[in-house]
């Protein structure tokens, strides 16, 4: 994750925002007294929120853990995408 200060960010905002989007990389904008800000693309933010929901919900987490364990044991089911 790259970091820059507020003045540099302000002077080069287009460059930094393009880099965040094109490289799917976050940017930390450093501010006085440690009150920093992180810039990320909307796509990355939405993925983060979705992942937090999936692993943050105990029922979802339990189902995910069970599925991972079954996959490790080779208990897989093949599905034809045309059947969905």
**76, 69 in Cβ contact below 8 A?**
no
Residue with the bigger pLDDT between 47 and 57: it is 47
Is pLDDT above 90 for 1? no
The rounded distance, in Å, linking the Cα atoms of 12 and 19 is 11
Q: 26-38, pLDDT tens digit by residue? A: 999 999 998 999 9
Residue 6: CB atoms within 10 A of its CB come to: 13
**16, 9 in Cβ contact below 8 A?**
yes
How much is the average pLDDT of 39-54? 94
Per-residue pLDDT, 54: 85
The rounded distance, in Å, linking the Cα atoms of 35 and 5 is 11
From residue 2, how far is each of 28, 48, 51, 73 by CA, in Å?
6, 18, 23, 40
Per-residue pLDDT, 46: 96
Per-residue pLDDT, 56: 86
Question: Which tokens hold the place of 36?
Answer: 């920093």
């Amino acid at each position: 994750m790259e970091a820059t200060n507020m003045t540099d960010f302000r002077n080069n905002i287009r460059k930094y925002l393009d880099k965040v989007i094109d490289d799917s990389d976050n940017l930390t904008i450093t501010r006085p007294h440690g009150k920093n800000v992180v810039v990320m693309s909307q796509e990355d933010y939405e993925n983060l929120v979705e992942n937090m929901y999936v692993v943050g919900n105990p029922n979802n987490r339990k189902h995910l853990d069970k599925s991972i364990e079954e996959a490790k044991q080779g208990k897989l089911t093949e599905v034809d995408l045309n059947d969905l």
